[in-house]
């Protein structure tokens, strides 16, 4: 059984912790139901850190939500995860650089072209619950520092959920 199949939601939808996401990334590169599940895991794991980065870039709540959803939609549509390899570096670094480029591209496009609707968004409303407190605490952090903080907090949430389910 591969690692992506071993990652199950535990107690209210929290993701079980895994020390690496590379097997999930590799699983997500396919066309199977397991690949779809792996894509969902990746999106849920990285949505908060990417959203926090977008907010720190000066976007209002709704704009940041839309932008991150569009980013993931574009990532999936263009199958960008198919080219990601462990030896090239960390997935979170790849996603951050990709988001920075996406934001720059969107700003450039928005300055000259009317925005368009791209399709279905992944429902992640429950991820926004702790948003206000997180941003009050992180007002002095740079966007990069906020991204790293959010990534670490998401990892800790996964660990705590696993511990709670095991004990």
| Cβ count within 10 A of residue 70 | 18
d(CA 84, CA 43): 15
Q: Distance between CA 47 and CA 154 in Å, rounded?
A: 9
- Give me the pLDDT at residue 127, please: 56
Mean pLDDT of 31-53: 87
Tens of pLDDT along 119-159?
A: 555 555 555 555 555 555 556 778 888 888 888 888 888 88
- Spell out the residues 6+ positions from residue 31 whose beta carbon is closer than 8 angstroms to its own: none
Task: Between 92 and 65, name the one with better pLDDT.
Answer: 65
Give the C-alpha separation, 163 to 92, whole Å. 24
What count of other Cβ atoms lies within 10 Å of the Cβ of residue 68?
Answer: 29
Question: Looking at residue 67, what is its pLDDT?
Answer: 93
- How many angstroms separate the CA atoms of 51 and 151, rounded? 11
Q: Where are the alpha helices (DSSP H) in the chain?
A: 3-6, 22-28, 33-56, 61-77, 91-112, 131-137, 143-166
Of 49-53, 89-93, 139-143, the least confident: 139-143
Classify residue 15 by burial, with Cβ atoms within 10 Å: 0-12, 13-18, 19+.
Answer: buried
């Amino acid at each position: 059984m591969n690692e992506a199949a071993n990652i199950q939601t535990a107690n209210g939808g929290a993701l079980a912790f895994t020390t690496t996401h590379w097997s999930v990334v590799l699983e997500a590169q396919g066309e199977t139901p397991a690949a779809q599940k792996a894509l969902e895991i990746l999106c849920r794991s990285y949505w908060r850190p990417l959203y926090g980065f977008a907010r720190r870039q000066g976007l209002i709540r709704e704009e940041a939500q839309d932008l991150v959803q569009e980013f993931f939609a574009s990532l999936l549509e263009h199958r960008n995860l198919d080219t990601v390899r462990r030896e090239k570096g960390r997935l979170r670094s790849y996603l951050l650089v990709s988001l920075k480029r996406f934001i720059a591209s969107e700003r450039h496009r928005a300055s000259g072209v009317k925005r368009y609707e791209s399709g279905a968004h992944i429902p992640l409303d429950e991820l926004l619950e702790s948003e206000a407190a997180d941003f009050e605490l992180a007002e002095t952090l740079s966007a990069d520092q906020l991204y790293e903080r959010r990534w670490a907090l998401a990892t800790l949430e996964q660990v705590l959920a696993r511990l709670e389910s095991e004990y």
